Amino acid sequence: MEKVGEKMEEKVWQFIQKHHMLEAGDRIVAGISGGGDSMALLFLLLKFRERCGYEVCAVHVNHGIRGDEAFRDETLVTKYCADRNVDCEVFHCSVPEAVKKYGWSEEEAGRILRRQAYEQVLRQWKGNKVALAHHQNDQAETMLHNLSRGCGLRGIRGMLPVQNGMIRPFLCIERREIDHYLKEKKIPYRTDSTNFSDQYIRNRIRKHVVEYLERNVNSKTVSHMAWTAGIAAQAEEYLCGQGERILAQYGELLPGEIRISDDCLGEPSILRMYGFLQALEKVSGYRKDLSGEHLEQISRLFQKETGKQVSLPGGTTAVRVYGGIIIRKTVKEKVETRKKMWTLPVPGRIQCGKAFWETRIFSYESQKIPEKAYTKWFDYDRIKKTLQIRNRRPGDRIMVTAQGGRKKLKDYFIDEKIPREQRDELILLAEEEEVLWIVGKRISEAYKITEFTKRVLEVKYQGGREVE
């Protein structure tokens, strides 16, 4: 008779294969907290390693919140890995200090600090994927949280199995299946005492909403919600593709704005809406706070006389012009240079003010380098330290010739006749004082793809001109 554990293993393995999560030669960085979910994930990654031929490195982050309890979690993870000859990297950080310094919530601070740890190990260990232990109960909590704040299909879809270099092999199973598996396989784990506190939003949703629904409405609530998330993800992917088609067919990309022709009115309303949404994201890099009503306002603008306009979130305006509408950035936000800075997650996605950055890593096999203004490729193995998104600072320099010739950024701006008032507004991607990319201008010769490149870091930027 097939055991529960064997059934779960097969379900997870089929899910991994369906989404091409694990392949021979992969170097997987696994986020391991010491809790049941992550320890089960580590157990399975080590077991499946025999089938697939990849390598695993565990990463444990001590958030500096729970004192001795956190150190006991750390001890469990490091001993478990040492006993199995698995690489394990441990990071100590202070969530309370990050909350105080940056104004983040505890949950947000913990998430950001973990991502930074994963990024560092990816770079140093030459990893290419991050494995996380999110399961269907986590998915249900994410969906409900998004719905409570108001969302479209993107919010309903929740987390994706494969997303920005992260893989989630457990999105096909519920927490109860993991609990059975832990018991059957006698996998050691620890329980985080903060899981029972109503201080955190996710805990409140889990304890007072999801568990209530399972007890009093439908015992299969979690699996049904996971199925819905999958359908929503497919629908969102299709509609985003249609939105891009609408924009390509009826739109004209101009400096700082997009013009959409009246001819789009022959398309179904929902497809037009996604076209408008894509246009707004491209112009401002801003999606938060955009509602269905805003998209309806743009649609109604086509029926108005020339000159009418609608103000939209993200400092954008839609204006009725002859033969169509123009969506443009209208608010030039002031910035305080030398104060704002973000760490670029690699791989991953981050919102910096109202702009979005997205990165991925892949093997270089002489592919054609894209000639796009806001998508750039860099030789990943030439990058040795954390990448920062920021404005210019004293001492910044950039390599401008393949022979190694460098210029101070100030001199480069003067030589290129970039107006003085624009220099503090330009966005930089930098490794300490070495500038990789002046967004909208050029990249450094020091990080360009060559015949010797093995791994590529692709960086995509969507947003306005300023870092805010």
State which of 185, 215, 245 marks the end of a domain. Answer: 215
Kind plus residue range of the DSSP H or E element containing 319: strand 316-321
What pLDDT is stored for residue 72 in this prediction?
A: 94
On whether 35 is known to bind a ligand per the annotation, the reply is: yes
**Is 464 a known ligand-binding residue?**
no
Q: What is the pLDDT of residue 21?
A: 96
Say yes or no: 346 and 301 in one domain.
no
Residues 89 and 140 in one domain: yes
Last residue of a domain, one of 304, 329, 354: 329
pLDDT in tens, the chain (468 residues): 457 778 999 999 999 999 999 999 999 999 999 999 999 999 999 999 988 899 999 999 999 888 888 899 999 999 999 999 999 999 999 988 888 888 888 888 888 999 999 999 999 999 999 999 999 999 999 999 989 887 889 889 999 999 989 999 999 999 999 999 999 999 999 988 777 778 888 889 999 999 999 999 999 999 999 999 999 999 999 999 999 999 999 998 876 789 999 999 999 999 999 999 999 888 877 666 677 788 899 999 999 998 888 888 877 889 998 899 999 887 444 444 345 789 999 999 998 877 889 999 999 988 888 788 889 999 999 998 889 999 999 899 999 998 888 999 999 988 887 766 568 878 999 999 999 999 988 999 999 999 999 999 999 998 644 333
Tell me if 65 is assigned to some domain.
Answer: yes
For residue 148, give the CATH number of its domain. 3.40.50.620
Alpha carbon 254 to chain centroid, angstroms: 28
Maximum Cα–Cα distance across the chain: 76
**pTM of the entire predicted model:** 0.67
The answer to whether position 354 is within a domain reads: yes
Same structural domain, 181 and 316: no
Q: 220 in a domain, yes or no?
A: no
Distances (CA, A) of 178 to 38, 181, 216, 222: 10, 5, 23, 14
- In terms of Cβ atoms closer than 10 Å to its own Cβ (0-12, 13-18, 19+), residue 103 is exposed
Residue ending a domain, among 273, 303, 329, is: 329
Q: Are strands 455-462 and 375-379 parallel, antiparallel or unpaired?
A: antiparallel
- What local confidence, expressed as pLDDT, does residue 288 receive? 63
Residue 366 lies inside a defined structural domain of this protein = yes
For β-strands 129-131 and 27-31, DSSP reports them as parallel
Judge if 382 and 402 occupy the same domain.
yes
Q: State the sign of the Cα–Cα–Cα–Cα dihedral 120, 125, 130, 133.
A: negative
The predicted pLDDT at position 366 comes to 84
Q: Are residues 88 and 186 in the same domain?
A: yes
Domain span at residue 374 reads: 341-462
Look at residue 250 and tell me if it is in a domain.
Answer: no
Same domain, yes or no: 290 and 366? no
67 is in an annotated binding site: no
158 is in an annotated binding site: no
Tell me the DSSP string of 343-392.
EPPSSEEEEETTEEEEEEEEE-SSPPPP--SSEEEEEGGG--S--EEE--
Burial class (CB in 10 A: 0-12, 13-18, 19+), 434: middle
34 annotated among ligand-binding-site residues: yes
172 shares a domain with 37: yes
| Domain-located, residue 224 | no
CA distance 267 to 245: 11
Tokens encoding 61? 């982050």
C-alpha closest to that of 456 among 362, 358, 357: 362
Q: Which pLDDT belongs to residue 341? A: 84
Same domain, 151 and 81: yes
Residues 67 and 169 in one domain: yes
How many domains in the chain? Answer: 3
Domain membership of residue 403 (yes or no) is yes
> 370 and 298 in one domain?
no
368 and 302, same domain (yes or no): no
The residues, ordered by sequence, that sit 6+ positions from 424 with a Cβ below 8 Å of its Cβ are 335, 337, 391, 392
Contact 30, 42 (CB under 8 A): yes
Structural domain contains residue 225: no
- Whether residues 282 and 157 fall in one domain: no
Asked if 165 and 347 touch (Cβ cutoff 8 Å), the reply is yes
